[in-house]
């Protein structure tokens, strides 16, 4: 976090990955699918030597998941000599109608960043698409209780393996819609205190700005309910004031749940 002098940020600046974190994004090598585009996605794709992105799935409209959409330009740029700028192999950008309405429609900047540079495909709650041997199903949920379904989780199946990827805003997902999962990549949820017991978030903040957000313990209870074979928790905010090593410690407490915390460059095989 720029300007922050806390121990976690100092350590991240000094040591880099896995202590530093460039945002919540997942790359599915089968199908070359990128899920969410935080603003530093350019660096993350370069760092991980990703050479091809065919699909970008967007979970919801929040800035930390869409501000990197300009990555569509380098992905879709024609080889030189450039004639029309946009090449023939445009990535496919997948999102719900809700997300499209919030991010692209009526927004001059995002229209220019997306519409010429990608084939946009709408995938609404309950809909499925096939990508090679993969099946991707969208499961929608509300971000605010009683509101529209503004967040999408993506249920991927290949052969007998099933993974649910819901990077953020997990609070209102209807867990009864989920099948038996081999893997769930999900939101961590916020912490109210540092590991040393220092207050991170006041009660007033919980009642106002964080009223729609989920606490870590609530996120763990979702895991207890679903019991996936493996859980990787992401959406790890700077505000949580926890280092890579502290998450490793915390994992030990939840080893029975096969719970791990994500870090940049983490590789998962199913």
| Site residues for Zn ion per CB under 5 A | 1, 4, 6, 8-9, 64, 168
CB of 64 to Zn ion, least distance (A): 4
> Which CB, 138 or 188, lies closer to Zn ion?
188
CB of 119 to Zn ion, least distance (A): 25
How far apart CA 206 and CA 211 sit, in angstroms, is: 6
List Cα–Cα distances, 228 to 189, 222, 231, 251, in angstroms: 18, 10, 6, 15
Q: Token digits for 236?
A: 């790890």
Q: Strand 134-142's sheet: what is its strand order?
A: 128-131, 134-142, 149-158, 161-166, 183-187, 231-234, 259-261
Residues in the chain: 270
> Which CB, 8 or 118, lies closer to Zn ion?
8
CB of 214 to Zn ion, least distance (A): 12
Alpha helical stretches, state H, the chain: 7-15, 41-47, 63-66, 72-76, 97-103, 108-114, 203-207, 216-226, 244-253
> Which CB, 4 or 210, lies closer to Zn ion?
4
CB of 25 to Zn ion, least distance (A): 10
List Cα–Cα distances, 156 to 48, 63, 214, 232, in angstroms: 22, 24, 24, 15
> Which CB, 62 or 162, lies closer to Zn ion?
62
> Which CB, 45 or 66, lies closer to Zn ion?
66
CB of 168 to Zn ion, least distance (A): 4
């Amino acid at each position: 976090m720029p300007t922050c002098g806390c121990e976690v940020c100092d350590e991240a600046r000094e040591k880099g990955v896995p202590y530093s974190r460039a945002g919540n994004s997942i790359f599915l090598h089968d199908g070359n699918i990128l899920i969410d585009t935080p603003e530093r996605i350019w660096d993350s794709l370069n760092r991980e030597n990703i050479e091809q992105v065919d699909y970008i799935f967007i979970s919801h409209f929040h800035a930390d998941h869409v501000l990197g959409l300009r990555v569509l330009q380098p992905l879709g740029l024609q080889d030189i000599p450039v004639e029309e700028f946009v090449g023939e192999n445009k990535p496919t950008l997948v999102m719900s109608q809700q997300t499209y309405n919030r991010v692209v429609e009526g927004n001059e900047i995002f229209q220019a960043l997306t519409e010429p540079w990608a084939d946009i495909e709408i995938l609404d709650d309950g809909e499925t698409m096939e990508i090679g041997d993969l099946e991707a199903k969208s499961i929608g949920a509300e971000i605010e209780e009683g509101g529209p379904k503004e967040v999408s989780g993506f249920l991927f199946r290949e052969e007998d393996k099933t993974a649910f990827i819901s990077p953020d805003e997990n609070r209102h997902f209807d867990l009864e819609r989920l099948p038996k999962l081999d893997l769930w990549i999900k939101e961590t949820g916020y912490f109210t205190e540092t590991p040393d017991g220092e207050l991170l978030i006041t009660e007033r903040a919980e009642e106002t700005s964080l009223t729609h957000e989920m606490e870590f313990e609530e996120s763990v209870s979702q895991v207890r309910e679903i019991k996936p074979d493996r859980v990787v928790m992401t959406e790890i905010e700077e505000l949580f004031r926890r280092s890579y090593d502290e998450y490793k410690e915390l994992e030990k407490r939840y080893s029975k749940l096969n719970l791990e915390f994500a870090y940049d460059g983490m590789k998962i095989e199913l």
